[in-house]
Amino acid sequence: MLIENYFADFPRFFSKMRQIAFLLAIVVCTCLAIRPQAVGVTGRLMCGDKPAAGVKVKLWDEDDGKTVRLICTAFVDNQLQFRTRS
């Protein structure tokens, strides 16, 4: 009799476990989907065959082709290199 009562609650227990696992999976997937993103560019700007100094470099974000936004700007330094991060 004791063993029969023990196994009688299994379907209800596993149903609850499935619900909890499903909700936990949704929460984890949502958290992973909204993580912040970072981007950076390092390089040397050339104008033809000559390096360009004192030029402003802009990094633009174009997600879906409709909205374009400026992420960050940088200037080419005396070593003729630039570095920008966002």
What is the per-residue pLDDT across 14-61, written as a single tens digit (0 to 9) for each? 778 888 889 999 988 888 887 677 777 888 888 888 888 888 888 888
Kindly report the pTM of this predicted structure: 0.47
Higher pLDDT, 1 or 29: 29
Is residue 36 left, alpha or beta, with left meaning phi > 0 and alpha meaning psi from -120 to 50? beta
E strands, the chain, are 40-43, 46-47, 50-51, 56-62, 68-75, 82-85
